[in-house]
Each structure stands twice: as C-alpha cells, then as structure tokens.
Structure 1
Amino acid sequence: MTNHSNFNVALLGIPFDDNSSFERGPALAPEKIREVLNNGSLNGATELGVNLRESAFWLDAGDVNIATASDFIDNIEQRCDELLTQNTRLLTLGGDHSISYPILKSYRKFFDKLSILHIDAHSDLYDSFKGNRYSNACPFARVMEDGLCDRLVQVGIRTLNLHQNEQIKKFNVESLEMRNWPLAEPLVFDHPVYLSLDIDGIDPAFAPGVSHREPGGLTTREVINLIHQINMPLVGADIVEFNPNKDIDNMTSQLAAKLVKEVAGKMLQANA
C-alpha cells in the first residue's frame, strides 16, 4: 500500500452468519455494537488518547450487502477493495469468523508484508468442518493455503485436537495455548499487523454472549493490553463471533464496543 501521512479508519459491518457451525446470531452483532457506541453511555476517548468523536479520520462505512450466502467471499472482498483503495483501513464487525478470509484476500493486495494476530479460543484451522470448507471453523486454513500473511500468531487457544495440531505444523502457525499463559516474552512483530479478534477468546465470565463458550480464557484487560502492546502498525482488524442472542444484560455488547474503541485508537495512533 502506498504510504500516506494520514489515512482513514472505517467501521465496516458484515452482518453475516451463514457459516456458523453451531448457533446463528452473530449477524445481529454489528447493529448491536453500533447501538452501544452511539447511545451516549460511552464517550469517544480511548485509553491511548485518541478521541474517536473528535477524529476526522474515523468514519462509519455502513454494512456489506451480501446477495446470497454463496456470494459472501466476492461481496466482502470487493467492498474491502473499494475502501482500501481510498486510503481507508478497516475495523470490521462480524458476523461469524468466516468473514476474515475474504477480508484478508483483499488486504493481501495492498500489503506485501503482513502478520496476523489471531485472538480466539479455537484455532479455526479445520480443512473442512461439517462438509463446509468456508465454515467459521476453517478461515485460517484458507488464509494459510492462499499465502495471505507472512506470519500467523494465535493467542488464547484452548481447544486443540489432533487435526488442528497437524494443521498448525503444516502451516507453521505459532499457536500459543492458554495452558501456557502468561507469555514468557512479549509478542514482537516485524511487519504490519492485522488483528482478528474472536470474542470467545475472552473468558465467558467477561463475554457470555458467544455461541461457543469456552472457559479458561483471557480477561478483558489482558486482551486490551495485547492490543496496546502491538509494536508494529495495526493496519486492520475484525471483531467477530459476538452473538447478541446469548448475551446477559448487554455485558458482551459493552465489551465489544470497548474493544472497538481501543482497536480504533491503536490504528489511529499513527495519524497523531
């Protein structure tokens, strides 16, 4: 991507959950997260000193219109291409985790070097799940097959089976399991970073509104600190798998909105 002194960061909704492998509901998330962001209970200030409500570089690009489930890859990729071409980087709200694959197909056209930080309870590396190669259990197998990143680092993982371990070895993925948490050393990246943040990477005590509750996860503060400590430019992100149907007293919608703010603040730091 051509370097510019300033760039926009756009909030992009993808209300799509046709590839959910267990329960539907994440398609409702973008609207719910925007509602919390805009309802007045939160101010625009992020912990890193960026005030989103005062930033000329923070905008809302609306939602991706997906014609049919079979068109989801092309529809998402094309919309991301349009925005990235306009010197706009993306903070995307899913939706299920299958949306990450077409987003990263687009990103790879604009970034010759790209690392992915993937926060999740699951590795999402199945070659196929329930007969669907584009399931929300499979996006990073497709990403690695297509060479869409130079390095994939996974944090929060606590559900590995034999097949997933085989895939980790096959694709040379750095999968950092929760059983070995905390990290012995801070993460250090050599290339721009794309963050893919599955809400179920966070412990269900903090984030009950997910389809796959997996105890033993990260705390909210641990995730925020991971975001703040990224040492290279954060050039894109998705926040996925929030299921409003499973939420309790809006706990997870408030968490998702907080994460949007902190991710956006980190992305916009480079404009300061």
Structure 2
Amino acid sequence: MPAIRLFGLPTDINSSFERGAAAGPAAIRAALWSDRGNLASELGPEIGVDIAFTDDGDLPLAEDTPRDDAAIRRHVAMLHEDGEVPLALGGDHAVTVPLVEAAATCCGPLTILHIDAHPDLYDDFGGNPRSHASPFARICEAGHAARLVQVGIRTLNDHCRAQAKRFGVEIVPMAGFTPDAVPVLDGPLYISIDLDGLDPSAAPGVAHPEPGGLTVRELLALLHKQTAPIVGADIVECHPGRDVGGVTAILGAKLVRELAALIDRNGPWKP
C-alpha cells in the first residue's frame, strides 16, 4: 500500500477577501495529534499503525508565488519519485495549482474531485490570475484535468458558468443533493477539499462561509464511494481566526484520517 506524506503549505498570499488561512495547517495538525481523539478512520485503519503515514511539517514558503509554486512542485515530485502520496494542508486554495501540476507531470492528466462552495474558475479575480478564486481555471487551461467534477458549488455566477462550459466541468448541484449523485471516478484521482464546501454549521472557520452546504456525513459518503487510486489530495482554507471552538480544525483532522484511509484502501496508481 502507498505511504502517505502529510505537509503544510502556510500561505494565504492569494486570498481575495481576508488573510488567515496560512494558520490553517498548524491548527489542523494540532487537532490531528491532540489527545482529544485517536487516529482511527471510519474505514477502520489507523494512521501510523495500519497506514504508513509521515508528517513532514510545513514547507518553508516565502510568500512569493512563483518561488513557492516551484518549492511545492519539487516536494510533490520527490514524493512521487519515492512512490509516496502527497496529502497537503493549506493555506488558501491557490496552492492546488502547483500540487496538481506536479502530480499531473508524474501521472498524466488527472481526474479531479473538487469539494467547494465556489467553482474557483475565475479567469482573473481582482487583477490576480493566481487568486484562490482561479486555481481550476489555471489547471484546466494547462490540460492537467482529464475530468473535473465539482461538488458543493452554490455560488455559480454567469462568468464561472461560462468558464465551466468552456472547460467541460461537471458540477453536481446542491439542490436536492445526495451522495448517490456523485459519480465513482476513474484514476489517477486527485481530491481537493475546500472546507467552505461544508455547511458553515460544520465548518465555520473559513473566510467565505456560504449557507446550504454539505454535511459531514454527505462528504464522507461521497469520498468513501471512490475506488480509484489517489495520487494526491489537499485540504485548504481553514481560517482559525474565524473558527468556533476549533471545530473546523477538528474536522480538517478527521478528513486527514479519512483521506489517508481512502488512499491506503484504494492502493497505488499503476499507469
């Protein structure tokens, strides 16, 4: 089974509304290793016991997007060369661009499952084409996504609707949502979870809360049904300054355990 390497990307330089997500990796990591709970997943295996799992800490980023992108790409390429699967903690959602770019360079165009309240397809948001509102436009333009399925979207404006049509994005509507509406995807699979994809009642610690989102049980159900080999994943946009009782960081830690168990269960990617 593949070994999993957790690492943090403490940057929010591309946030559009307010900064704060740079503190997310530390908050999630503190919840993950806290004695408050244990390290078992709902799939059964326990990280560090049944699942080969290493926490690399945070990458030393410089708040310079080109330099940070290069550092992230190098780190992911190194992990793939060693047969390990990267599991990244953001940081704002802009970090998904180099994460996916490096994974696609190693594995070819990816199937991407994207959980979010927002489609993040802006061609250019606020004069910044690398905004956290734009990562999937950059990913699709570069040809890194063979298929992009977005779940949790509930802020689709005309521009992003046109972008979704341009790139052939599949959006599973929140109206009448059930996990059965989410397809079982082929590999190589990349999973990107923006915590604001969850309803704010479950994840208040985000910069852009949007009512009417996924429940935790719905998210786990749509994740657990995925059977394809996973070549990378990220959990982004935890904003501890807006959290309530640390519940968003605790959720982030739970998602680390569930993603690690899913990566382990689904096995390594073989071209």
Work out whether residues 192 and 234 of structure 1, in 8 Å CA contact, stay in contact via their aligned partners in 2.
Answer: yes
Change in CA separation of 1:243 and 1:51 when aligned onto 2, cut-off 3 Å: same
In 2: Cα distance, 1:169 partner to 1:186 partner = 19
In 2: Cα distance, 1:64 partner to 1:148 partner = 23
Q: 1:104 aligns with which of 100, 105, 116?
A: 100
Equivalent in the alignment of 1:3: none
Amino acid corresponding to residue 240 of structure 1 in structure 2: V
Equivalent in the alignment of 1:72: 68
Equivalent in the alignment of 2:4: 9
Q: 1:202 aligns with which of 195, 198, 213?
A: 198
Query: 1:149 aligned to 2:145?
Result: yes
- CA deviations 1:104-139 (Å, max 9, x no partner) are 110001212520000000000000000000000000
Q: Secondary structure at the match of 1:16?
A: coil
Amino acid corresponding to residue 140 of structure 1 in structure 2: F
Q: Percent identity, aligned pairs only?
A: 44
Structure 1 window deviating more from structure 2 (169-178 vs 118-127): it is 169-178
Counting only pairs closer than 5 Å after superposition, residues 71-220 of structure 1 correspond to structure 2 as: 71-182=67-178, 185-220=181-216
In 2: Cα distance, 1:186 partner to 1:20 partner = 28
In 1: Cα distance, 2:213 partner to 2:31 partner = 24
In 1: Cα distance, 2:93 partner to 2:126 partner = 15
In 2: Cα distance, 1:156 partner to 1:139 partner = 16
Work out whether residues 195 and 236 of structure 2, in 8 Å CA contact, stay in contact via their aligned partners in 1.
Answer: yes
Gaps of 5+ in 1: 1-5
Deviation at 1:27, TM superposition (A): 0.6
In 2: Cα distance, 1:186 partner to 1:8 partner = 27
In 1: Cα distance, 2:107 partner to 2:99 partner = 12
Q: Secondary structure at the match of 2:156?
A: coil
Deviation at 1:243, TM superposition (A): 0.3
- Runs of 4+ aligned structure 1 residues displaced above 6 Å come to none
Equivalent in the alignment of 1:229: 225
Q: TM-score if structure 2 supplies the norm length?
A: 0.94
Amino acid corresponding to residue 145 of structure 1 in structure 2: E
In 2: Cα distance, 1:217 partner to 1:231 partner = 24
Amino acid corresponding to residue 174 of structure 1 in structure 2: E
Equivalent in the alignment of 2:248: 252
In 1: Cα distance, 2:30 partner to 2:3 partner = 22
- CA deviations 1:240-267 (Å, max 9, x no partner) are 0010000001111111111111111111
Structure 1 window deviating more from structure 2 (49-58 vs 152-161): it is 49-58
Equivalent in the alignment of 2:25: 30
In 1: Cα distance, 2:82 partner to 2:51 partner = 15
Work out whether residues 191 and 234 of structure 2, in 8 Å CA contact, stay in contact via their aligned partners in 1.
Answer: yes
In 2: Cα distance, 1:259 partner to 1:96 partner = 17
Q: Secondary structure at the match of 2:148?
A: strand
Deviation at 1:66, TM superposition (A): 1.6
Q: Secondary structure at the match of 1:101?
A: helix
In 1: Cα distance, 2:186 partner to 2:31 partner = 35
Deviation at 1:186, TM superposition (A): 4.4
> How many matched pairs?
267
Q: TM-score if structure 1 supplies the norm length?
A: 0.94
Work out whether residues 11 and 91 of structure 1, in 8 Å CA contact, stay in contact via their aligned partners in 2.
Answer: yes
Counting only pairs closer than 5 Å after superposition, residues 36-47 of structure 1 correspond to structure 2 as: 36-47=31-42
In 1: Cα distance, 2:62 partner to 2:181 partner = 45
- CA deviations 1:153-176 (Å, max 9, x no partner) are 000000011100100010000012
Change in CA separation of 1:108 and 1:241 when aligned onto 2, cut-off 3 Å: same
Q: Secondary structure at the match of 1:178?
A: coil
Amino acid corresponding to residue 31 of structure 2 in structure 1: V
Structure 1 window deviating more from structure 2 (227-236 vs 154-163): it is 227-236
Query: 1:243 aligned to 2:239?
Result: yes
In 2: Cα distance, 1:234 partner to 1:56 partner = 15
Work out whether residues 113 and 191 of structure 1, in 8 Å CA contact, stay in contact via their aligned partners in 2.
Answer: no
